[in-house]
Amino acid sequence: MKEYDIVVAGAGVIGCATARELSRYTGSVAVLEKNADVCEGTSKANSAIIHAGFDAEPGTLKAKMNVRGNQMMDQLSKELDIPFSRCGAFVVCLREEELPKLRELYERGLKNGVEGLSLLSGEEARRLEPNLTKEVCGALYAKTSGIVCPFELTLGLAESAAINGVRFYFETPVLSLERQGEKWLVHTPKEDFLAKAVVNCAGVHSDELHNMVSEKKLKIQVRKGEYCLLDKSAGKHVGRTIFQLPGKYGKGVLVSPTIHGNLLLGPTAEDVEDRENVRTTASGLQDVLEKSALGVKDVPTRQVITSFTGLRAHELGDDFVLGEAAPGFFDAAGIESPGLSSAAAIGESLAAEIAQKLALGKKEHFDPIRRGVPKLKEMSLAERRKMIEKNPAYGNIICRCEEISEGEILDAIHGVLGAKTLDGVKRRTRAGMGRCQSGFCSPRVMEILSRELSLELSQIRKNQDGSQIVLTRTRGE
Amino acid sequence: MKYDVIVIGGGPAGLAAALAAKENGAQEILILEREKELGGILNQCIHNGFGLHTFKEELTGPEYAARFIDRVKEENIPYLLSTTVIDLARQENGVTVTAVSRENGLMTLEGSAAVLAMGCRERPRGALNIPGTRPAGIFSAGTAQRLVNLEGYLPGREVVILGSGDIGLIMARRMTLEGAKVKCVAEIMPYSGGLKRNIVQCLNDYGIPLKLSHTVVDIRGKERVEGVTIAQVDEHNKPIPGTEEDYSCDTLLLSVGLIPENELSRGIGVELSPVTNGPKVNESLGTNIPGVFACGNVLHVHDLVDYVSEEAAEAGKNAARYAAGSGTQEGVEIPVETGGAVRYTVPSRICPDRMEEELVVRFRVGKNMRNAWVCVYAGEKELLRRKRPVMAPGEMEQVKLKKEDLKDALSLRVCTEE
């Protein structure tokens, strides 16, 4: 059995943000994650938007956390060495009779304290975004809206937490909780953990964890969203995130540049029972392509390089559930959109609440700085030359589509929370994320993983156990 | 130092181009290869059937490559391995090539001429937007081929293959020989995109069913592929409801098309054809950028490597001449138009003044045809009419044009007539 002051259940963006904020305080922290890496659930498959905060009802936790979380991103992205761009967003209105709803949204934004909002005519909007359709008759322009890489944000938060003493336990799902005196005994298949406080950051499973300890039951309705990702050659089709005016099911289909220069379309919104249902469907993908064309014309849909499904943890109360639900049990439940945008703020607020409860003081030497894997492709030739002189492995290109070198892959494997799988390398470096979708580089990345981690090639996995890539040696070997 | 000819890619196209450049007087030649050996994709093609046209014998891929590699070594043509070109730029009299490697760091190389010979890549699952889960066990056929033939590992035991391109067919046989069960090859088109001989030797000989007008409509399995659903498609390639069939399998191989890798070409401003995804070239295999030539699968996807070598030799020769400043650059280019089932031609423009006495024009047709005519017209004038008993999209066709026939031509048209 291991003993910590605080156990965080879940290494998604909320768990990692909370862990990092907790690491500002004295007190030991462990993060338990059922998957093999951080950011394996809801956090990895979403729109990758840092919303401005005009969308949520004034007074809700969603509104409060979103606006605060958005404000925190400039400093946070610098501290964590992760890409973040305030590219701005449009909410486009496609029907004259709905223009009042656009104004409502604008006013809601003002009430929420969102800065940099303005209303544009269809003409004005098209001048800034020439690929908007002629049906666009007005737009809400949110200058503070941004784009981020959800994985790098989560990994950055996690590694920063680890640098400041937080321990991560992967493939360690929380099975049940038991009150033991003033503490919680946390059961996992590997070992038990004893903690003064437990933080529930279990994403689509956050109601299950909550309901183990609280009489006031929660119910997560998992909502599935399908996306299509387009090649970088389509990445400049729009310069800002283009939302459609929200309807009954969330924010509608967006068209957005990604922080890495691709174009993202989606999501659909479909309530599902299976909490692991990340299938894409022909009808869903068709829907994404068709709906994206309503606000943006000539989307080069032949440039799709991959499609994926994300799951949103929609709580039936329709707001985030934050704070102490039972003595020493703290919720961050029902974190759906704008969860990614709110992550930093949720972490900040929960950590403060927990620290107060456990009477923890601030650490003297919190180190806010974390360095990511260097990105050689983004450097000038002179910088790149210097990097390769220092470490020749930066000169050996492994992923030709994204131009990722062996040196970057080695950095990812030997990082603070190093990659252990093909997906782990991919998300840390982008090796395999390009237009060939890992066709060329996967055997080479597998070799590097096998060499560096002293594993047989047949033990190298895509992600979770059971996802081994090759099975056995061939007959002749 | 300035090179006469820099060859980007050390596969079959690059090797043949470099050799031809040498034979035609280029002194300073450099081959840049990103893999750790010369030979390109041939190194993993351990089946035989290569070189029937060139050497009149059946070689394996590595054997075919070795014939060229040996000659490159005999000729002392320098090459750099594990070297990736990251940028190609124009300069006043030629090109600047920026490349990186572990050994040499970041290099800036100058050449009077460059030959693009980067080959092609496989279309991934995403390009088809196949719905379902995203587990381990989905490979492009070429990746699986590398894992089996070069790494010596078996990617799966029960296999479904989507796409009947040549690599898919070859891998159906290869996986079978390694003890895997290949349950079927599904092909969305009503015909195979592969060579007839591969359908016979790789599928029929092993009793592997080829399901034409079928595609994968669902992939199941969380960590590893557990099965796929295959459905028949209508004439618009849309799945027909009610025709779905479930196959249990742990592996799905995709052989759904090859795309010439022209990121570098695009960077330097080479004009690309939307049909081939390769550069538009003239009779000298020159692109719109002076001094930049293209050949092999980066130009258009070939069926047989023999034609790659033949074409690349032309590109190498012309690059050497360009570097030497010999041969005229003058003359008017006439566009080659297509008609009937002809999808494209390489070259797509011809300068009669610059062309040799005879010029090979390669093309592919868009459908299966029997007893159709291949015709070439210069304006209204018929230059050539040849009956072809069988033509198929999977097999490359060619016609030979004579310089004397094109002397006064203002337009050219290559077409099929039924």
Closest CA of chain A from B99, distance in Å: 9
Nearest to A393 among B102, B122, B146 (CB): B102
Distance CA A157, CA A10 (A): 13
User: Would you tell me which residues 4-63 of chain B have a C-beta closer than 8 angstroms to some C-beta of chain A?
Assistant: 34
Q: Please check whether residue B210 is in contact with residue B203, taking contact to mean a CB–CB distance below 8 angstroms.
A: yes
Tokens 């062309």 correspond to what residue? B355
Domains and CATH numbers, chain A: 2-43+151-217+317-358 (3.50.50.60), 85-146+221-315 (3.30.9.10), 376-459 (1.10.10)
Chain A residues whose CB is inside 8 A of the B262 CB are: none
* Interface ipTM: 0.94
Looking at CA atoms only, how far is residue B180 from chain A in angstroms? 10
Write the pLDDT tens digit of every residue in A321-342.
999 999 999 999 999 999 999 9
What chain B residue is nearest to A383 in terms of C-alpha separation?
B106
For chain A, percent of residues with pLDDT exceeding 90: 95
Amino acid at B124: P
Chain B residue numbers with beta carbons less than 8 Å from the beta carbon of A388 are: 100, 105-106
Give the one of A281, A395, A438 whose C-beta lies nearest to B102's C-beta: A395
Contacts of B380 (CB under 8 A, 6+ apart): none
Which three-class secondary structure state does DSSP give residue B245?
strand
- Region of B177 (left: φ > 0; alpha: ψ -120 to 50; beta: rest) is alpha
Structure tokens at B123: 């279309």
How far is the C-alpha of B111 from the C-alpha of B118, rounded, in Å? 17
- The owner of tokens 């795309």 is B259
> Which pLDDT score is estimated for A477?
56
pLDDT of residue B157: 97
Query: Which tens digit of pLDDT belongs to each residue from A195-248?
Result: 999 999 999 999 999 999 999 999 999 999 999 999 999 999 999 999 999 754
Scan residues 189-228 of B and list those with Cβ closer than 8 Å to A.
217-218, 222-224
CB pairs under 8 A between A and B: 150
Which of B37, B43, B151, B228 is the mutation pick for testing A, counting most A CBs within 10 A?
B151
Q: What share of chain B is helix, strand, coil (3-state, %, to 5)?
A: 25, 40, 40
Share of chain B above pLDDT 90, in %: 92
pLDDT at res. B415: 97
- Nearest to B311, CA basis, from B116, B40, B157: B116
B265-293: pLDDT as tens digits: 999 999 999 999 999 999 999 999 999 99
User: Does the pLDDT value for residue B174 go beyond 70?
Assistant: yes
DSSP B259-320: EE--HHHHHHT--B-TTTSSB---TTSB-SSTTEEE-GGGTS--S-HHHHHHHHHHHHHHHH
Q: Which amino acid is at A37?
A: D
Give the model's pLDDT for residue B381: 94
Which chain B residue shows the shortest CA-CA distance from A403?
B86
> Which of A236, A376, A400, A427 is the best residue to mutate to test the B interface, defined by the most B CB atoms within 10 Å of its own CB?
A400
Confidence of residue B126 (pLDDT cuts 50, 70, 90): confident
Of A306, A384, A401, which is closest to B126 when you measure between CB atoms? A306
* pLDDT, mean over chain A: 96
Q: Which of A432-436, A473-477, B395-399 has the lowest mean pLDDT?
A: A473-477
Contact residues on chain B for A285, CB-CB shorter than 8 A: 129, 131
Name the burial class of residue B343, with classes exposed (0-12), middle (13-18) and buried (19+) by CB atoms within 10 angstroms of its CB.
Answer: middle
Rounded Cα gap, residues A228 and A309, in angstroms: 9
- Catalytically active residues of A are 51
- C-beta atoms of B154 and A474 within 8 A: yes
**Residue A477: its chain B contacts at CB < 8 A?**
152-153
CA–CA dist A293, A295 (Å, integer): 6
Does residue B103 register a pLDDT over 60?
Answer: yes
Judged against a pLDDT cut of 60, whether residue B223 lies above it is answered with: yes
- Look over chain B and give the mean of its residue pLDDT values, rounded to a whole number: 96
Average pLDDT value for residue range A49-74: 97
Residue B102 and residue A400: Cβ atoms within 8 Å? no
Residue numbers in A near B263 (CB within 8 A): 401
Q: Which two tokens stand for residue B44?
A: 């993993």
- Note the pLDDT of residue A475: 79
pLDDT at A238: 98
Do residues B111 and A399 make contact, with C-beta atoms less than 8 angstroms apart? no
Q: Among candidates A336, A392, A387, which has minimal Cα distance to A223?
A: A336
pLDDT in tens, B308-338: 999 999 999 999 999 999 866 778 899 999 9
pLDDT attached to residue B407: 86
Nearest CA in chain A to B157: A471
CB contact under 8 A, A392 and B105: yes
Across B70-75, average pLDDT = 98
For B224, the closest chain A residue by CA position comes to A467
Mutate to test the interface with B, among A262, A399, A401, A437 (most CBs of B within 10 A): A437
Cα–Cα distance for residue pair B318/B327, rounded to 1 Å: 9
Residue to mutate among A422, A433, A440, A458, with most B CBs inside 10 A, is A440
Per-residue model confidence as pLDDT tens digits over A2-37: 999 999 999 999 999 999 999 999 999 999 999 999
What's the pLDDT at A249? 47
pLDDT at A39: 98
Q: Is the pTM for the entire model greater than 0.90?
A: yes
Q: Which pLDDT belongs to residue B194?
A: 87
Q: Average pLDDT for residues B89-94, to the nearest whole number?
A: 92
**Does the beta-carbon distance from B86 to A476 stay under 8 Å?**
no
Spell out the long-range contacts of B80-83 with Cβ–Cβ below 8 A and sequence spacing 24 or more.
Answer: B80/B30, B80/B31, B80/B32, B80/B33, B80/B104, B81/B10, B81/B33, B81/B35, B81/B36, B81/B37, B81/B38, B82/A396, B82/B33, B82/B34, B82/B35, B82/B36, B83/B32, B83/B33, B83/B34, B83/B107
Nearest CA in chain A to B123: A436
For B258, name the nearest residue in chain A, comparing CA atoms only: A436
Q: Which residues of A touch B98 (CB under 8 A)?
A: 381
The rounded distance, in Å, linking the Cα atoms of A32 and B339 is 65
8 A C-beta contact, residue A204 and residue A220: yes
